[in-house]
Structure 1
Amino acid sequence: MTFEQLNYFIAVVENDTYFDAAYEVNISQSSLSKQIMKLEKELNMTLFDRTSRSATLTEAGEFFYGEAKQLIKHYKQTLEHIENFKSLHKNKLHIAVLPIQTQYNLNALFNDFKKQNPTIEFKITEVEDDRLLEGIGKNEYDLIIAREAMFNKSQFSTYPIANDELVVALSSEHRLSKRSKLTFDEIADEDFILMNPYTSIYRLCISQLKLHNIDANITHTARTESIIGSVAINEGISLLPNSNFQVFNQSNITTIPLDPAIKLSVVLAKNKTTTCTISIKKFIKFIEDFMQ
């Protein structure tokens, strides 16, 4: 007795005729009849009353129909359990991260994890903000690393990786360059050069400027290295994560903290709908241990 034969038998019962059942299971009517007869021979039971033109069950057939339905139900459940097991024990891990690996020393972090877990197929993809959230929404990534402000806590679980803060970047020749701290009111009339509009830092800067009722003169937007070059020659000021200046060393640049400070936490994030595989659990535990 095979599960295929059980499905054929159930199809005949539920379609009332061999003709309709054969069409449903996509085999010829004669092949279907042969499979039913093989099943009857193995069971040593007559399942259908062949004196009727329709597929009428015998008493034995009625009994076996209930058993066959249960067997198929358990078979499907077993297949689902097997797939769940395989998914949980998937030895792969795909993490997407903003272009911030260097400034937060994430490359060394990833390398340590790979050394500790050599059997895990570990993949890192660097993408910009909008693509990051789109990708995890489509289950293209198992985990993502980005700034905490990007995540809706009802949808994502987050785990801290690094701390940072937004600072004012200006030329060392700027009139405010000797200040120990700066408020938004004190920089309200400056020309601003901000990061590209698709970045979370740009959106944060815009929201803070609006919060302080500043109609900022944003002369242009650019990548970090271009901004720093422009600020160095006093074309304007910028608002950037302080960690950028550990990567892009530029003379004639001064960075000044904001008052009050605007913190920028970097986190590992997991979509709450993503199945928590063994590999995911291992990486989350690795990050938690690292941060202790």
Structure 2
Amino acid sequence: MTEDQLRYFVTIVDTGSYIEAALELNIVQSSISKQIQALENELGIQLFNRQHRRIELTDEGKQLLPQARQLLEGFYRLKYMAQKLQPRYKNRITVISLPFIGYFGLYVPINQFKLKNPSFKINIIELEEPQLFRRLLSNSFDIALTYWHEQNLANSKNIFIPISTDEIVLAVNKDDSLAQLKHVTTEQLKNTPLMLMESYTCVANLCKTFFEEHSIVPNIIFRGRPETIFSCVQANQGAAALITRKQASSYLANNVVLIPITPNIPAILGAVINKHSQKNLKVKELVNMLIGRNIK
């Protein structure tokens, strides 16, 4: 049993498919399949029910999943503790982040910190939501850059400090009938075919909360990565996409219109400071520089 095998197992469950797991882990699907088969052979049980088109855990898989998560968190924690024991670790800050640092210009303050503190190494690790929140649980980081997501952060002893406010908007093709609107109401959203990011993402969960608060049963016809749903809007596939303004603006499409939603759906970007790193003055300095960027 290896760390990779456990990570593959948990990621398949979190993403809902072998394909999405392969995309998140940046490996080929066949490698995941082989490693899961090897894990099942070693354990002597079947983890997934392969008689259904959707990924489903067997009863045995459901019972082992919590232990697999705990073991994986243990691997992360062990690696992190080993790093801290290295002679020069005191001059290192581990930053885990959703892959959006470029959207918010956060490399600027990070590089400014490096110039001001040349003896420090900033270890930046970009992760998708399931991986990032697993790292949060294991406390194997100093700073985590993520959108506020109550389910994963509200009960944490780590500190969440807002850095910048984004918003979720409706992206439509310029030829769509909605493109002339100055804003979109909740009633209009009810009747609009929508494309949305995968259900495990912060953005999707913010939208889900919004739908529930306004009694909306959304007509979601497709889920995918932000670049995928945005490309579908560009190609005028007959549906609108819910996406953050910062993400959408980074794709620079002349034939896509971004429409605000009323009431708005804020997406608060912030820095989660590990409870064990809160007294580290250099961690505080870096966070203050990120806040000082004051990006709108």
Q: Tell me the alpha carbon deviations over residues 95-148 of structure 1, each in whole angstroms, 9 at most, x when there is no partner.
A: 001011111112222211111111112110000112112113213211100112
- Other-structure match for 1:101: 101
- Other-structure match for 2:11: none
Alignment of structure 1 residues 121-270 onto 2, 5 Å: 121-150=121-150, 151-152=153-154, 155-232=157-234, 233-270=236-273
8 Å contact from structure 2 (residues 170, 260) kept in 1: yes
- Other-structure match for 1:281: 284
- In structure 2, C-alpha distance between the alignment counterparts of 1:124 and 1:287, rounded to whole Å: 14
1:271 aligns with 2:259: no
Q: Aligned-pair distance for 1:273?
A: 4.5
8 Å contact from structure 2 (residues 106, 290) kept in 1: no
- Other-structure match for 1:92: 92
- In structure 2, C-alpha distance between the alignment counterparts of 1:210 and 1:260, rounded to whole Å: 14
8 Å contact from structure 2 (residues 206, 265) kept in 1: no
Structure 1 residues 285 and 124: CA distance shift in structure 2, 3 A? same
Q: Output the TM-score relative to the length of structure 1.
A: 0.65
Q: Which residue identity is paired with 2:139?
A: N
8 Å contact from structure 2 (residues 174, 257) kept in 1: yes
- In structure 2, C-alpha distance between the alignment counterparts of 1:256 and 1:225, rounded to whole Å: 18
- Other-structure match for 2:14: none
Structure 1 alignment gaps of length 5 or more: 1-83
- In structure 2, C-alpha distance between the alignment counterparts of 1:120 and 1:227, rounded to whole Å: 39
8 Å contact from structure 2 (residues 109, 289) kept in 1: no
Q: Which residue identity is paired with 2:180?
A: K
- Other-structure match for 1:16: none
Aligned length: 209
Q: Which residue identity is paired with 1:231?
A: V
Q: Aligned-pair distance for 1:271?
A: 3.0
8 Å contact from structure 1 (residues 120, 279) kept in 2: no
Higher-Rg member (1/2): 1
- Other-structure match for 1:117: 117
8 Å contact from structure 1 (residues 160, 291) kept in 2: no
**RMSD value over aligned CA atoms?**
2.6
Q: Output the TM-score relative to the length of structure 2.
A: 0.64
- In structure 2, C-alpha distance between the alignment counterparts of 1:107 and 1:211, rounded to whole Å: 36
Q: Secondary structure at the match of 2:141?
A: coil
Structure 1 residues 168 and 121: CA distance shift in structure 2, 3 A? same
Q: Tell me the alpha carbon deviations over residues 230-289 of structure 1, each in whole angstroms, 9 at most, x when there is no partner.
A: 112143111111111321012321111111122212111113354532332332333344
Alignment of structure 1 residues 55-94 onto 2, 5 Å: 90-94=90-94
8 Å contact from structure 2 (residues 110, 286) kept in 1: no
- In structure 1, C-alpha distance between the alignment counterparts of 2:244 and 2:294, rounded to whole Å: 20
Structure 2 alignment gaps of length 5 or more: 1-83
Alignment of structure 1 residues 8-23 onto 2, 5 Å: none
Q: Which residue identity is paired with 1:107?
A: Y
8 Å contact from structure 2 (residues 103, 247) kept in 1: yes
- Other-structure match for 2:75: none
- In structure 2, C-alpha distance between the alignment counterparts of 1:285 and 1:211, rounded to whole Å: 34
Q: Secondary structure at the match of 1:245?
A: helix
Q: Tell me the alpha carbon deviations over residues 162-188 of structure 1, each in whole angstroms, 9 at most, x when there is no partner.
A: 221111111111111111111111121
Q: Secondary structure at the match of 1:265?
A: strand
8 Å contact from structure 2 (residues 98, 128) kept in 1: yes
8 Å contact from structure 1 (residues 156, 271) kept in 2: yes
8 Å contact from structure 2 (residues 95, 143) kept in 1: yes
